[in-house]
Structure 1
Amino acid sequence: MNILLLSSEYAPMRGGIGTYAREIAVAATQLGARVTMVAPNYGKDTSEADRASPFPVHRFNGGLHSARDLPAKVLLTRSHVGAAPFDVVHAADWPFFIPVALARSRTPARLLMTVHGTEINETQTASKRLAIRFSGAFGPRTEIAANSRFTRDLFRTKFDIDERRIHAIRLGVSAFWSGGARNDRAAVRARHEIGPDRIVMVTVARITRRKGHHLTLEALARLPAELRQRITWLIVGPEGEAQYVNELRSLINTSQCDVRLLGAISDEEIRDLYGAADFFCLTGLPESSGRVEGFGLVYLEAGASGLPSIASDIGGVPDAVLAGESGLLAQPQAEMVASLIQQIAENSDLRVRLAAGARAHARDLSWERCAAETYRLPRPQAASPLEALSA
């Protein structure tokens, strides 16, 4: 199978869509497909990293997408679509939806577009809906891959197309998070001056209001004093909205909770922290702006490392965190989140059971499985009974 994959986000930029494009391309290649990646260069020389890629990467000049980039993407897509006999032309995210649709006359390939959640709401303006309609973006040759059941259902409510062309295909998680040479749990704790008797909770997310750090902090403050004083909360991630970050710092300083802001660190360091922690917590909030949590890949990464999650029951998160199996879900309210933190912090047997479920769920949702479902590629004999059941 010959696949052309176009993405407006890719390494060296870090983010969910870039991760999706990279991982599904690697997995498809491992399953025997020939993948050609088209991605922006962000004004940097990426030649060394691209040469090490298991598939060719064609870079175009550009960075984060804006509306003025659309004509260039249309010409770019037409040139690549006509360059080889592709079996699948895949727009990994919405900036390539219209360009792929407008290039359909140049190829008999299957046209595939992946929706991640928020862009579905963002395309509801009159001008964007008109552009989608007249370009035939979601015409009869187009198939939609949604990253969760929530995203699939959201798309169905906004666009009237044949439901048989919309598929919920959950994302995968890299083996990096379950394997590798990670540092010893005790050594990592010692490096961060965390005692062996501490209960460690970790959050990995950009510090923005919709990620709900303030909600988690309020939940911690509601715990019984004796328990609260035993918990260390490690917050990993770059700073987002400046005003919100300042508000959060102020709340932390007056909270009487042990909270550490570690900033942006490497994936290797995050993996080490997962190994040193007891559970993961990310309590996102619904937003009136239309932004949604389409899936929640970070919960799978934590789960692959053996951490159960506490999460908000919003968006596509229930596909990433199985309630009562790989973690605990609650409505994003402080008293409810506090109750879950207390349950998981005080009950080591519960943590062990949920940790086993989190690992199993992460094994089930491999990128190989995601690529096979997305591109209809055959998979080799599954390596475990769990994988055999999910194939």
Structure 2
Amino acid sequence: MTPPGGPPEPNGTARTLIVTNDLPPRPGGIQAFVHGLAMHRPPGSVVVYAPRWPGCEAFDGRQPYQVVRHPGALMLPLPAVARRAARLVRLHGIETVVFGAAAPLGLLAPTLRAAGARRVVMLTHGHEASWARLPGPRQVLARIGAHADVVTYLGEYTRGRLERVIDPGKLARLTPGVDTTVFRPGAGGAEVRKRLGLSGRPVAVCVSRLVPRKGQDVLVRAWPRVLRAVPDAVLLLVGGGPGRRTLERSAARLGGSVRFTGPVPWTALPAHYDAGDVFAMPCRTRLGGIDVEGLGIVYLEASATGLPVIAGSSGGAPDAVRHGETGLLVDGTSVEQVAAALVELLSDQGRARAMGDRGRAWTTREWSWPLVAGRFAELLAP
């Protein structure tokens, strides 16, 4: 842990404090989003206050921003967290506080304003859109939003949910960015294929946490249909999660045509995307809309790697895919639709390659980190 302290930057760059539960080395899309925002600010202008996570010491030491770790693995809007965050505001002359996720840590905003912060920016993701649907959480979210200067949203789906609860004048679009120099064709997929014995075989890859919303169970159920049309195809499931044992039991009858890698370090993810011919994550909305995909950065990372994508038409996922151009949108609950999309793209290499090329061009043009960093800088300014 880097100890707190130090004066504001001599070049006059106002210091920003990011308060977040989501930061690498903990894996996940929100974690990568928050890290990317901090990385693209001027060196030394950002302090991040985040929970401890295995491997955080090595990660923190490599960053151009300062990280202060909370003693535990989770931060809640409780007095101890409020005191530590307020101390950081005072020590560093913080002018702007960014909450990596508005709910629930945004409840700390009044305390941090009292400590000296002049501006509060709150990021939202899929779970805030879910909170907006439920009476109790909706009231808390309204309270959180009342103390913000800016509340960001990922796309039209999340905006539509949030504007029912938060002043629409505070809402501003801010999406994750994609590093197209890291996620790119030729990022190491050949080595992954060789190591796993997949060279020369058609591969559908899914990179995500193994939970029901992401749809790996539907991929496994659809796989026998895929094998009838593409007998040597392989489904590569990259990631860990509570659903792994159930998925492995379901896939056991399919022999070696379904492979599980388990958790993969963030630095190895580009190579695992690049090991695929098609990316598929047929996400679906669950629990009456409470469990929903906010956007799906994995679709954009796959597109940047030159893969066509198959996405479930759930929540904000359609914002990350151009149906028929960069990939296909399917009903994530339909085994038939998922299987048909997989067969279509695994069988037609020319169409798949053309979609992948268009996807890479689109992410480079509209989702690159320099563009996102510019939008973020505008939101931080008073």
TM class by shorter-chain length?
0.7 to 0.9
* AA aligned opposite 2:157: F
Cα distance, 1:205 vs structure 2: 1.4
Partner of 1:280: 279
Q: What runs of 5+ residues in structure 2 fail to find an aligned partner?
A: 1-12
Cα distance, 1:202 vs structure 2: 0.6
Query: Could you say if the C-alpha distance between residues 123 and 70 of structure 1 is closer, same or farther in structure 2, counting changes exceeding 3 Å?
Result: farther
Query: Could you say if the C-alpha distance between residues 111 and 215 of structure 1 is closer, same or farther in structure 2, counting changes exceeding 3 Å?
Result: same
Q: How does 1:155-166 map to 2 (within 5 A)?
A: 155-157=162-164, 159=165, 161-166=166-171
Q: How far apart in 2 are the matches of 1:56 and 1:45?
A: 16
* AA aligned opposite 1:57: V
Q: How far apart in 1 are the matches of 2:355 and 2:186?
A: 24
Partner of 1:383: none
Partner of 1:301: 301
Partner of 2:356: 355
Partner of 1:58: 68
Query: Could you say if the C-alpha distance between residues 141 and 246 of structure 1 is closer, same or farther in structure 2, counting changes exceeding 3 Å?
Result: closer
Q: How does 1:1-391 map to 2 (within 5 A)?
A: 1-2=13-14, 3-29=16-42, 34-42=45-53, 46-66=56-76, 70-93=78-101, 94-107=103-116, 109-122=118-131, 128=137, 136-139=143-146, 141-157=148-164, 159=165, 161-175=166-180, 177-178=182-183, 182-183=187-188, 185=190, 187-196=191-200, 198-223=201-226, 225=228, 227-241=229-243, 245-255=244-254, 258-288=257-287, 290-332=290-332, 333-363=334-364, 364-376=366-378
Q: How far apart in 2 are the matches of 1:45 and 1:208?
A: 24
Q: Say which SS state the counterpart of residue 177 (structure 1) adopts.
A: coil
Q: TM-score normalised to the size of structure 1?
A: 0.83
Q: How far apart in 1 are the matches of 2:246 and 2:189?
A: 35
* AA aligned opposite 2:83: L
Query: Could you say if the C-alpha distance between residues 145 and 266 of structure 1 is closer, same or farther in structure 2, counting changes exceeding 3 Å?
Result: same
Mean alpha-carbon deviation: is it higher for 74-83 or for 283-292? 74-83
Verify the 8 A CA contact 2:230 2:346 in the aligned structure 1. Answer: no
Q: Say which SS state the counterpart of residue 163 (structure 2) adopts.
A: helix
- Count the aligned residue pairs: 363
Mean alpha-carbon deviation: is it higher for 143-152 or for 77-86? 77-86
Cα distance, 1:374 vs structure 2: 2.4
Q: Say which SS state the counterpart of residue 138 (structure 1) adopts.
A: helix
Query: Could you say if the C-alpha distance between residues 371 and 96 of structure 1 is closer, same or farther in structure 2, counting changes exceeding 3 Å?
Result: farther
Q: Say which SS state the counterpart of residue 146 (structure 2) adopts.
A: coil
Verify the 8 A CA contact 2:75 2:81 in the aligned structure 1. Answer: no
Output one character per residue of 1:178-237: Cα deviation in whole Å (capped at 9) or x when no partner.
35984462x5433222242x2111111122222211211222223472x23121111111
Query: Could you say if the C-alpha distance between residues 316 and 264 of structure 1 is closer, same or farther in structure 2, counting changes exceeding 3 Å?
Result: same
Output one character per residue of 1:8-57: Cα deviation in whole Å (capped at 9) or x when no partner.
22223222222122110111237xx8212112224x68455433321222
Query: Could you say if the C-alpha distance between residues 70 and 119 of structure 1 is closer, same or farther in structure 2, counting changes exceeding 3 Å?
Result: farther
* AA aligned opposite 2:18: L
Cα distance, 1:377 vs structure 2: 7.3
Q: What runs of 5+ residues in structure 1 fail to find an aligned partner?
A: 379-391
* AA aligned opposite 1:81: V
Verify the 8 A CA contact 1:28 1:372 in the aligned structure 2. Answer: no
Output one character per residue of 1:102-161: Cα deviation in whole Å (capped at 9) or x when no partner.
32244362211011111342476666555556xx5222652101122222212123x1x3
Q: How far apart in 2 are the matches of 1:141 and 1:238?
A: 35
Q: How far apart in 1 are the matches of 2:111 and 2:31?
A: 23
Q: Say which SS state the counterpart of residue 260 (structure 1) adopts.
A: strand
* AA aligned opposite 1:204: V
Percent identical across equivalent pairs? 26
Q: How far apart in 2 are the matches of 1:45 and 1:278?
A: 32
Cα distance, 1:168 vs structure 2: 2.2
Verify the 8 A CA contact 1:8 1:95 in the aligned structure 2. Answer: no
Q: How far apart in 1 are the matches of 2:67 and 2:344?
A: 47
Query: Could you say if the C-alpha distance between residues 282 and 132 of structure 1 is closer, same or farther in structure 2, counting changes exceeding 3 Å?
Result: closer
Query: Could you say if the C-alpha distance between residues 129 and 295 of structure 1 is closer, same or farther in structure 2, counting changes exceeding 3 Å?
Result: closer
Verify the 8 A CA contact 1:203 1:236 in the aligned structure 2. Answer: yes
Verify the 8 A CA contact 1:284 1:311 in the aligned structure 2. Answer: yes
Verify the 8 A CA contact 2:121 2:379 in the aligned structure 1. Answer: no
